[in-house]
Amino acid sequence: MTFEDLREKKIYIESYGCTYNHADARRLTAILEDFGCTLTGRAEEADAVIVNTCTVIGATERKMLRRLAAFADRDLYVTGCMPLVQMDKIRSVCTPQVIRPDEIHERSGSVGTRGPGATGVVQIASGCIGRCSYCITRFARGRLASVPAQDILDAVRALVASGAYEIQLTGQDVAAWGLDRGESLPELLREITNIPGRFAVRLGMMNPAAVLGILEPLTDACESEKVFRFLHLPVQSGSDAVLERMQRGYTAADVVRIVDTFRERYPDMMISSDFITGFPGETDEEFSQTLELLRRAAFVKVNITRYSRRPGTPAAALKDLPERIRKDRSRTLLAEANRNYDTYNERWIGRETPVVATEKNMPGSTVCRNPCYLNVVVEEDLPFGFTGKAVITGNRRHYVIAKLVPSGEEEV
């Protein structure tokens, strides 16, 4: 398709999936506005509908097909990962035009986009260096393609100038940035943190296999007050046998080494993770090893997914475990993850911590972040970018409650 087809139309967009995918949607919105389009939040008012798809797991795929079927009689466009790998599934429910993600990237002027509130998102790379046996996304996004450092630095400067405080670096594997260019993420972080202004970087998802190669310099880079002490380290399993079948490229001991290296330097560091339960062939003993790693690493903010077969992947040829086993293991892992969350939050109660206001969820309160990216809700209306200190007063598991410490020195 050409964007000329959409010129001056009223457009409705639905977007799904990861931070990277939502950033694509915002870049697409900017392109459409340049073509004189008007964006609407009501599908029934639109001349054309765009669905930005995700197909990471089976449940998401089924949801995408339901949404696409609902718009089958409309002037429909589809983008995101799904049309890159499952066009046959899409055509089974509708016949849309396709907007390829690389078309969005080629036409868009910047790799940086404003997120909600005081956040900004910078897409630093697409694709990955992995060969995970269960992953369909690697077929959709391809091999690693790192954005040049100068483009990233320009995007960060522009976002900071626009008032963004939290700068989210995103990609399918942020730790792999630069490997295709003879550069590295710690080098990039040093350049970013030299940019003048009030902001802090939140590192996106990083495969442990890629982190191992940059562990010491990455740990050093987090010393800067302009880097949140937060890691998203998707582990997927605590069993070496399962990790080998998954083709993840690391062991459980490697994960412990990464976690211990950061926590020895930064004891309060928040480290989140992802796990897949019920991978084909996973035994009770292998699952118990996953549970033990979750406890040992004390991961906070854990995403748990029941394994689902993805077409075209090597793991699709393996025999699935019964759904009840996958579901039971998911519940067990979630209960342990929640205990980790509560333990981490409760260690903050009564402590004073710096906070910055980044988002609003409901009137009368403001979502803030502290240096470890703790989700701190202050029950006051604060302007985005407000900085001050707060005392943590309560744990609500997925966030904590806090009261501001009056000082008369807060900044906006």
Rounded alpha-carbon distances, angstroms, from residue 148 to 145, 152, 188, 212, 227: 9, 7, 10, 23, 20
Using a pLDDT cut of 90, give the percent of the chain over it.
95
Q: Is the pLDDT of residue 325 over 90?
A: yes
Q: How much is the average pLDDT of 277-306?
A: 97
Q: For residue 232, which of 269, 276, 200 has the smallest C-alpha distance? A: 269
Q: What is the mean pLDDT of residues 25-30?
A: 96
User: At residue 76, what are phi and psi to the nearest 5 degrees?
Assistant: -115, 135
**The domains spanning 111-346 and 352-404 adopt the same CATH topology:** no
Sheet holding 270-277, edge to edge: 230-232, 270-277, 302-306
Specify the pLDDT at position 223. Answer: 97
Is residue 81 classed as helix, strand or coil in its secondary structure? Answer: coil
| pLDDT per position as a tens digit, 350-397 | 999 999 999 998 889 999 999 999 999 999 999 999 999 999 999 999
Whether the per-residue pLDDT at 412 is higher than 50: the answer is: no
Q: Does domain 111-346 have CATH number 3.50.50.60?
A: no
* Radius of gyration for the chain, computed over Cα atoms and rounded to the nearest angstrom: 22
Prediction pTM value: 0.94
What is the pLDDT averaged over residues 183-212?
Answer: 98
Q: How much is the pLDDT for 362?
A: 85
Name the residue ranges covered by the structural domains of the chain. Answer: 3-104, 111-346, 352-404
- CATH no. for 352-404: 2.40.50.140
- Residue 410 confidence (pLDDT) above 50: no
The pLDDT of residue 201 is 98
272 pLDDT more than 70: yes
Q: What CA–CA distance (Å, rounded) separates 408 from 209? A: 46
CA angle 368, 369, 375 (to 5 degrees): 85
| Fold for the domain defined by 3-104 | Rossmann fold (3.40.50)
* pLDDT above 90: residue 222: yes
Does residue 408 have a pLDDT over 60?
no
Average confidence (pLDDT) over 231-249: 98
Q: What are phi and psi of 96, to 5 degrees?
A: -85, 170
Residues of the chain with pLDDT > 70, as a percent, come to: 99
Q: What is the pLDDT of residue 374?
A: 98
Instruction: Tell me the per-residue pLDDT of 157-193, one tens digit each, with 9 for 90 and over.
Output: 999 999 999 999 999 999 999 999 999 999 999 999 9
Maximum distance among all alpha carbons in the chain? 63
For the cut 80, the answer to whether the pLDDT of residue 110 exceeds it is yes
Average pLDDT over residues 234-258: 98
What mean pLDDT comes out for the span 102-116? 93
Structure tokens at 396: 């609500």
Query: Which CA distances in Å does 364 have to 354, 367, 394?
Result: 20, 11, 17
- What does the pLDDT average to over 23-32? 96
